[in-house]
Amino acid sequence: MPDGGQPAILVEGLTKSFGEVHALRGIDLSVPRGTVLGVLGPNGAGKTTAVRILTTLLPPDGGRALVDGYDVVREAAAVRRSIGLAGQSAAIQLELTGRENLEIIGRLYHLRWPQARSRAVELLEQFGLADAADRAAKTYSGGMQRRLDLGASLVGKPRVLFLDEPTTGLDPRSRLGMWDIIRSLVADGTTILLTTQYLDEADELADEIVVIDHGQVIAAGAAEELKGRAGGDVVEFSVPDRSRVNDAAAAVAAIGEGEPHVDPETGVVSVPVGGRGSDALVEAVRALDAAGVVTRGLALRRPSLDDVFLTLTGHAAEEEEQPNGRKRGARRRERAAS
């Protein structure tokens, strides 16, 4: 057993290129045991490449990576005994039942038949699939398939679990269910590296967050620290009359400590106001009133990770194409406003 004091995942100067494309340009990570690292970034930022290297699926070009104390290149076999991987799509055999899927994975972990069977039963119960155990997985809902897939990644009782966008494409209720499961795994002491494009997901689940953009770590810290970097509080409102959005932004430009950000699609204007909080809110009301712009939902809020992303990268996370065509950032704002 490797030394319990060292991090579960240690990455130094990791690089990987695919021809001309530099997927990773020197990444450093350190994940203490029993914690969750959220790797946040838009599509194509290099998140999946990093996970593929850490799970021994892809050799790195440079740098080194230790998982559970083992080198992912020189001790790949040992790494594979320590990890579990659940990817973006449900890597299960849809024609087989949930029970069969888990039993086969158990056998491939070299469990004897009785152990493989009882481990399958355990996981089916843990993930609320006991009633559906003997139905073909193709009859499962998207959320159930994803839970079965997560169950499959846990058959070998991994000490380090890699979840590559575990909730991409799930409906909101299934997402919340998945979050509960992930929290319970952490409570059992599993170390988790979770990639996500969803700022609220990283905010909810991760002890530490690293933000990756164009193959580099552009920020790291706890969610609260990162929010602090976005420049403090934000005054935010929406303008129902879209033709007046820019007038509104111009009116509040003077009170902000940075440029107001306008989302032309939703008509939402947000402006960072630093630590001036409620004073800035009053000023904003006056300025908007003077400009004669009607607003809705004018409020002061703590910065979200959306704001952090915007500050750090100069572009909003939701500007990237989402696989499910949904704009997560917009949804988050709706929720914050309601």
Summarize as ranges the residues that interact with other proteins (CB under 8 A).
1-3, 52, 55-58, 70, 77-78, 80-85, 87-93, 95-96, 100, 104-105, 107-110, 136, 152-153, 156
Question: Which of 215, 218, 219, 217 has the alpha carbon at shortest distance from 61?
Answer: 215
Asked whether 152 and 91 are in contact (CB, 8 A), the reply is yes
Counting other chains too, the contacts that 239-246 makes at CB distance below 8 Å and 24 or more residues apart are 239/267, 239/269, 239/293, 239/294, 239/295, 239/296, 240/267, 240/294, 240/295, 240/296, 241/293, 241/294, 242/267, 244/293, 244/294, 245/269
- Smallest gap from residue 93 Cβ to other proteins (A): 6
Instruction: Between 31 and 137, name the residue whose CB sits nearer to other proteins.
Output: 137
- Smallest gap from residue 153 Cβ to other proteins (A): 7
Asked whether 201 and 172 are in contact (CB, 8 A), the reply is no
- Smallest gap from residue 111 Cβ to other proteins (A): 11
Instruction: Between 86 and 211, name the residue whose CB sits nearer to other proteins.
Output: 86
- Smallest gap from residue 2 Cβ to other proteins (A): 7
Instruction: Between 104 and 218, name the residue whose CB sits nearer to other proteins.
Output: 104
Instruction: Between 127 and 309, name the residue whose CB sits nearer to other proteins.
Output: 127
Asked whether 199 and 211 are in contact (CB, 8 A), the reply is no
Q: Which residue has the tokens 């020197």?
A: 26
Hey, is 20 helix, strand or coil? Answer: coil
- Smallest gap from residue 108 Cβ to other proteins (A): 4
The CA-based dihedral angle spanning residues 287, 291, 296, 301, taken in that order and rounded to the nearest 10 degrees: -20
- Smallest gap from residue 231 Cβ to other proteins (A): 39
